[in-house]
Amino acid sequence: MSLGRKALRSLPALLGALLFCGAIYVVQKEFRHLKIADIKTAMDAIPYRSLGISGVFAILAYGVLTFYDRLGTIYAGNVVSYKRVAFASFCAYALSHNLGFAAVSGAAVRYRLYTHWGLTPLQIGKVIAFCSLTFALGAGVLGGVVLFTEPEALPFFGNSVPVWILYIVGAAMWLTVLAYVVASKFLGTFRMFGHEVQLPQWRMALMQVALATVDVAVTAAIMHALLPAAPGLTYLRFLGVYLASYTAGLAANVPGGLGVFDTAMLLGLSPYLSPPQILGAVVVFRLYYYIIPLFLAGGLFTGNELMLRGRGLIGRMAGFLGATPDARLSEPDFAVAAAASAVAMCGGLLLILGVIEPDSDFSWIDPDFAEVAQTAGQFIPSLIGAALLVLAIKLVQRVKLAWGSTMAVLLAAAAFTISQGDRFWIPMALVCAAILIAPFRSAFYRPTKLFSGQIDASTAISLFGLSCCVVALALLEPHVRWVDNDSWWQVVIDQDIPNSLRASVALTVTIGLIALGRLLRPGHVEISSWTTETRQRFASLGKLPPVEADGVVWGEAGRAGIAYRHVGGVLLAIGDPVGAPSDQISAVWSLRDLAAQEGLDPAVWWAGPEMLLIYANIGLTPLQLGQDGLPAEDHLLSPDDPHARFLVCKPERDLRALLPVLPRLLESEAAD
């Protein structure tokens, strides 16, 4: 992969990291004197009437979102009943709202459900594309309204950019929406970036724009209802702040826009309300729009899995959602993704606690322990928070050691934060996160390089480096006790602290986090080019090698492998992994990791039913193949048929590119 392409793929992650770091810096600089007691007081001051109105708006917002999917299925040409699309929409959006990164996305949830309701992969791809575009249309309409009526309301830009530029941007938003509707009327279908794009009919496009506008307006009203009346804070001005903040949160690509959305709201609303009032409303907004829906959708989705598996009374109830009793799903991907999101949010919480002045009272515990806890300040919690963010990434990758490490860190952090006085909601959140991931130990099955055999030089250096960093941070801690709210990142950015101490803390934490990530890595990706020696090694694993291939990717123990070919933007495996069953799962993940390194999508052709669960765990969708080697038009999955064969891929992106190649692959397989 070219250097420019690598940089382009890394741009979203870099932008997210910059926005998150910028959010922490801004809050630390502008709102460093916030107190938890003040935020709690502001939350208590929210009237019950406002809480009720906000809750109604939250229900209405998710209700509006269900019509995204309803229109999407009509656009795709396969109408699904409203109760089904409502279920799929709620589960998909509750997950996607909370996760900035995950092995399973809202798109995967839709594929999981819609395939069992008769939609083909291409139709599901159309539904996903339709839903993704709809929000942007609503944001364009309302963004233009704000830019023309209340341009000064935008945080970051309102007072620093000339008004005429904001007018031009607003006009461009409106023209873009108008161009979409006009194109739907006169073009219908066109090609863009090598892909054929089919637009909905113009009447549906108008409905799409209207629906999206209502959605954005209602979602903003959830938080607006929680704010106290303030001179000059009209709904339109608040809408401008909300749109800018929500967009920044999306760009950051962190769970729920954590930190970035909140900081932008603080900046945008600070001329009208006090920081505790703003944060109090943000907390309740997150509860209504993020946390409660996530847990509700998680429970519904898990229940639906049991329905689809046909267990007992629940299986007999499957008809309510039209589930087929022989359908089989993967391990609880939704719960795994939600658990990783919860851990990441706990990490972000501990990381930013340093911006809030503690209100701790240590008189109720042992004086010696109290002195240690009090002098530790925010230094230790902020370090734990950074470690939890690293662990959340490893949970997404299903690393076994990450599960155990996360449980230990969460419980240790809960015990430590209890010593911080009256912040009982913090240890409660940490314990809840531990309880959430505890039942899913079996879902984290990837071995780490640390325990996969002999310790190589890289692992030994990482282990030694992490140990040295822990000792160094313990030695540095007494030197930062005198700093107010002494989070490690605050020590780094505080210009009143000696540069040598700032550099030491920054370097030690950076090396420690890198070492932790490397110790938890699943192992390196071993590949071999398609040579005679590679063919012989592959054949020794128990299966004849394919006639044509570009190479083989091996499992982490080197005892299983998958032959692959490059097909456009796809890294296509030829059949399931062969070799030792204990190493086949790691071979699948090695294929996924190799594809990520090369900027490609992984896919598997002629896959059997045995590995479908693992392929689903890396975000791939199975399409059953017919006698001609092409996906069957009716797409009736038969995972219990040992002779069934599948194409496992990301259909919405890669199916069109793969279809011309599949007949040639079948001919090669027959000739072999």
Report if residue 27 sits inside a domain: no
> Which residues are within 8 A (CB) of 98 and not within 5 positions of it... i.e. 6 or more apart?
255, 256, 290, 291, 294, 338, 341
Among residues 267, 300, 321, the one where a domain terminates is: 321
Could you tell me if 314 and 385 lie in one domain? no
Give the integer Cα–Cα distance in Å for 429 and 174: 43
Among residues 321, 349, 369, the one where a domain terminates is: 321
Report if residue 235 sits inside a domain: yes
Among residues 474, 492, 519, the one where a domain terminates is: 519
Could you tell me if 411 and 482 lie in one domain? yes
Could you tell me if 432 and 541 lie in one domain? no
Report if residue 1 sits inside a domain: no
- What pLDDT is stored for residue 573 in this prediction? 92
pLDDT tens digits, 17-33 = 565 566 656 555 555 55
Could you tell me if 438 and 415 lie in one domain? yes
Give the integer Cα–Cα distance in Å for 435 and 309: 25
Report if residue 3 sits inside a domain: no
Domain that holds residue 631: 526-671
Report the number of distinct structural domains present in the chain: 3
- What pLDDT is stored for residue 368 in this prediction? 47
pLDDT tens digits, 310-327 = 443 333 333 333 333 333
Report if residue 10 sits inside a domain: no
- What pLDDT is stored for residue 136 in this prediction? 82
Report if residue 607 sits inside a domain: yes
Report if residue 40 sits inside a domain: no
CB 73 within 8 A of CB 119: yes
Q: How far is residue 440 CA from its own chain's centroid?
A: 18
Measured CA to CA in angstroms, residue 508 lies from 465, 472, 475 at distances of: 9, 7, 11
Could you tell me if 534 and 507 lie in one domain? no
Domain of 626, CATH number, reads 3.40.630.30
Question: Do β-strands 621-624 and 646-649 pair in parallel, antiparallel, or remain unpaired?
Answer: antiparallel
- What pLDDT is stored for residue 52 in this prediction? 93
DSSP string for residues in 532-574? HHHHHHHHTTTSPPPSS-SEEEE-TTSSEEEEEEEETTEEEEE
Structure tokens at 14: 């870099």
Report if residue 35 sits inside a domain: no
Measured CA to CA in angstroms, residue 554 lies from 398, 507, 570 at distances of: 18, 35, 18
Helix/strand/coil for 607: strand
Could you tell me if 358 and 485 lie in one domain? yes
Residue 202: Cβ within 10 Å count = 16
Could you tell me if 471 and 343 lie in one domain? yes
Could you tell me if 212 and 356 lie in one domain? no
Could you tell me if 504 and 547 lie in one domain? no
Could you tell me if 363 and 507 lie in one domain? yes
Could you tell me if 481 and 431 lie in one domain? yes
Structure tokens at 250: 């999306």
Give the integer Cα–Cα distance in Å for 413 and 394: 19
The low-confidence residues of the chain, meaning pLDDT below 70, are 1-38, 99-106, 108, 121, 153, 155-160, 188-197, 252-256, 298-299, 301-338, 352-377, 420-423, 445, 449, 451-456, 481-486, 522-524, 617, 633-641, 652, 667-672
Which stretches within 45-149 are classed as H helix?
48-76, 82-98, 106-114, 121-149
Could you tell me if 339 and 439 lie in one domain? yes
DSSP-derived letter for residue 201 is: P
Structure tokens at 68: 């995204």
